Amino acid sequence: MAGPQGPRCPGGLTVRELELKFSLPLSLQDSLARDDSGDRIERVWSCYYDTPDGALARARMAVRVRRKGETWLQTVKADDGDRFDRFEWERPIAGNHPERDALPPEDTPQGALAHRTFAQWRPLFETDFERRARIVAPVPGLKVELAQDVGEVRCAEHRESIREVELECVEGSRAAFFAWALDWARLNQACLLMPTKNERGLRLAARLPLAPSPVKAGAIAPGAGTGTAPALGSVLRACVAHACANLEPILASDDPEGPHQLRVALRRLRAALRFAGLRERDAGWLEVDAGARTLADAAGRVRDLDVFETGALRTLRARFRGDAAIETLARSVVDARDAARMDLRRTLAGPTTTRFVLHTLAMTEAMADAGLEAGAAGDPGAPTAAAAAAPAPPTAGPGPTADPAEDPSVTPDREPGTRAPAMAAFDAPRFGDFAAIRLHALRRRVRRRAGQARDAEGWHRTRLAVKTLRYALDFAAEALPRGTEVARAQSILARWQERLGAGQDLAASREVAADALSRPGVPDGAAVRALALIDGWRAFAPADEDEPRRDARRALRGLGDALRAAEPRGARKARSDAGARAATDGAASARTPEGAGPEGVAPDAATVDARGPDAAAPDADPRGAASRPRAIIEDPPAPDGDPPR
C-alpha cells in the first residue's frame, strides 16, 4: 500500500503504489515455503465496483472494498500509464459498503470521477484468496512486502484461479527496488504477470474482451525546463510500458498488430537509448540495447511473415493464380508464422523477458536518481554517487542466466555481478537544450547515411537512422523552441521512412519466402519454382535507382527548414559563419556533406564541414571546448539496428 517517496494524503497514506506481480508456479511456492516462519497468513475478500456503463473501467480506475481480518478498507486505484506504479488511495471504512467520505479529494482527477459516479456504483465481481506476507529488508534503506496470493476471482458462475506473488515497495528508492527485484526474479526464475486482479475480473464480467487489444505508443511530453535525467527517465519508462502492454495481446490472441506494436515499442526504446547517448556511457545500457534487439527480432519474424502474406504473397497469388508452387508457398508461410508466434510466446512468457524488463527499469531509475543528485549539487558536469548504484546482471542463481548465448541481458561487455562505473552528467541539465543538441546530431547522422548509401544495405541503414530521428522528435516534441515545425518534420520523416520501407519489403520478400520454404515437408520442386517466380517478379518490378536519392534530397531540405529553430546555439553560429565565408569566396556550391561522393545529397545549412559544428565554430560557446555539447553521433563500425534484408 505505501509506495516509495510518494505524496501523502491527509490520512498519512502515500498515494502511489509501486508493485510487481509474478506468476506462482508450484516450484516457486515450494521455494518460498522454505523460509515462511515470519509470514502473516490471512484471508482476504474484496468486492470490486463500477457503474453500469463502465465509467471507472474506461478511465482505467478500480474501486474495491476489502476485508482483511477484522478491518474494512476502501481503495481507489488508477493506472496513469506506468505499468508498475499506480495512483492508490486507501482508507479504513465502517463496513462492507463504499463510503463517499473515503474517496480521494474532488480536486484530483481520480477523486472528481469517483465523486461524480459514486451513486451509480454497483458490485461487479469479487476476489477471495489466502495471503502469506512478510516484510523483507534486503539492503539498507529498502523494505519490500513479499506476498503470495492463492485463491480465485469470481463473477456470477464464472471462476478463475489466482496464483501470484506480489513485491511491493514499502520504503526506499525506485532504483533500489527494481535492482533487488531483478536479483530476486533471477534467483527464483520468476516471470512477470501483467494482468491485475481488476483486469481479470473485468474480463470475467465481460467488461473487457477476453483477449486484450494491442496498444499503440502514448504521448510523451517532457517540457523544455524539465531536468534532462528525469525527462529521459519518463521517456524510457513509457517505452517499457508500451512493450509490456503488448505482451498479453500476443500471448492471448493471433492479432497481427500485437507483434507489430511490440517491435515498435522495442525500436522506440532503442531509439531513446541512442537519443540519450546512453550506450556510450555505461555497458549496462549496451545490455539493455542487446536485450531489446533480441526481443524485437523475435517479434519481427512474426511481423515479417504477416507483411509478406498481405503484400508480396497476395500479389503473387493474383498474378500466378492457381499455381501449385505459389499455393505451397502460401501454406508454408502460415506454418512458419505459427511456429514463429509460438517461439515468441515462449520467450515472452519466460524469465528472459522478465529479466530484460526489470534490468531496463533498474538502469532507468539509477540514471534518473543520478541526474537528480547532480542537479541538487549544482554541478551538472560531475559524476554522482547514485550512478554507481546502476544495476549489474545479478550473481544470484547459476545456469543459463549467466550465459551470454542464452541470456540477452548478459554480454561480454560486462561480467555478471559487476557494477557499472559512475556515469557522467548529461551534456545539458535542461531537457530542451539537451534535446536540441541530440536532434541536431541525429539529423547529421541521417544526412551522413543518405550521402553514403549506394545499395539496398545503405538505404536500409538510412531508413534506421530516419526512424531513430522520427522517434526522437516524438520524445522531444514539447521541449523544442517555438517556431520548430515538429508536425511537418514528423510528416516528412514518416513519408520518407515509408518509401524506404517499400523498397526494403520488396528486397526482403525472397528471404522471407526462402525461410518459409525451408521447413521440413516442403517439396523441393515446389520450393525451387516458387523462388524462381519471385525472382522473375522482382526482376520485372518497376525500379528507379535515382528515386531514393531524390527522396533524400527532398526530405533533407524540408527537415532543414522545419527544424531550423531547434538548432543548438553552436550550430546556428557555425551556419552563420559558413554562410558568410561562402558569400566571400563563392564556394558555397562546391560543398558536399560528410562522407558523400559525387552523387552526394546536398547539405542543409546546418552541415558546415566534415568536422561538425563544434569544430567549425570553436568560439561559439564561451564555456570552452571542454563543456561544449558533443553534437556528433558516430556510426559504429558494423551496421546497427536490424540486420539488412
Sketch the domain layout of the chain as residue ranges: 16-210, 257-568
Q: What residues contact 561, with CB distance under 8 A and at least 6 apart?
A: 485
Each residue of 369-407: pLDDT tens digit? 886 555 444 443 333 333 444 454 433 333 333 333 333
CATH of domain 257-568: 1.40.20
Q: How far apart are alpha carbons 314 and 301 in whole angstroms?
A: 18
CA dihedral 498, 566, 552, 579 (to 10 degrees): 170
Q: Residue 348: which of 200, 245, 227 has the closest Cα?
A: 245
Q: How far apart are alpha carbons 451 and 312 in whole angstroms?
A: 29
pLDDT, position 609: 34
Q: Which CATH architecture has domain 16-210?
A: Beta Barrel (2.40)
- In this predicted structure, which of 351-355, 422-426, 554-558 has the lowest mean pLDDT? 422-426
- Contact by Cβ (8 Å): 214, 261: yes
Is the predicted pLDDT of residue 495 greater than 50, yes or no? yes
Each residue of 532-558: pLDDT tens digit? 998 888 777 666 667 888 999 999 999
Is the predicted pLDDT of residue 462 greater than 70, yes or no? yes
Question: Alpha carbon 501 to chain centroid distance?
Answer: 22
Q: How far apart are alpha carbons 154 and 47 in whole angstroms?
A: 10
Buried b (16+ CB within 10 A) or exposed e, 312-326: bbeebbeebeebebb
Is the predicted pLDDT of residue 368 greater than 60, yes or no? yes
Each residue of 34-88: pLDDT tens digit? 877 778 999 999 999 999 999 999 999 999 999 988 899 999 999 877 889 999 9
pLDDT, position 451: 94
3-class secondary structure, 84:
coil
Read off φ and ψ for residue 163, nearest 5 degrees.
Answer: -145, 95
Higher pLDDT, 231 or 502: 231
Residue 59's identity, in one-letter code, is A
Measure Cα distances from 311 to 169, 330, 444, 565 in Å.
48, 12, 33, 40
Q: Residue 423: which of 375, 383, 389 has the closest Cα?
A: 383
Residue 445 C-alpha cell reads as 547522422
Is the predicted pLDDT of residue 644 greater than 50, yes or no? no
Q: Where are the alpha helices (DSSP H) in 350-485?
A: 351-377, 431-452, 456-476
Average pLDDT, the chain: 82
Residue 5 backbone zone (phi > 0: left; psi -120 to 50: alpha; other: beta): left
Is the predicted pLDDT of residue 1 greater than 50, yes or no? no
Q: What residues contact 619, with CB distance under 8 A and at least 6 apart?
A: none
Is the predicted pLDDT of residue 604 greater than 60, yes or no? no
Q: Is the dihedral of CA 340, 341, 342, 348 positive or negative?
A: positive
Quick one: angle between helices 324-349 and 524-539, nearest 10?
100
Q: How far apart are alpha carbons 402 and 395 in whole angstroms?
A: 8
Model confidence at 346, in pLDDT bands (50, 70, 90)? Answer: very high
Measure Cα distances from 313 to 273, 330, 480 in Å.
35, 7, 43
What pTM was computed for the model? 0.81
In 54-192, the DSSP E strands lie at 61-68, 71-78, 85-93, 122-136, 143-155, 158-171
Q: What residues contact 200, with CB distance under 8 A and at least 6 apart?
A: 153, 160, 162
- Contact by Cβ (8 Å): 610, 448: no
Model confidence at 630, in pLDDT bands (50, 70, 90)? Answer: very low
Residue 319 C-alpha cell reads as 498474378
Q: What percent of the chain has pLDDT over 70?
A: 76
Question: Alpha carbon 460 to chain centroid distance?
Answer: 22
- Contact by Cβ (8 Å): 197, 153: yes
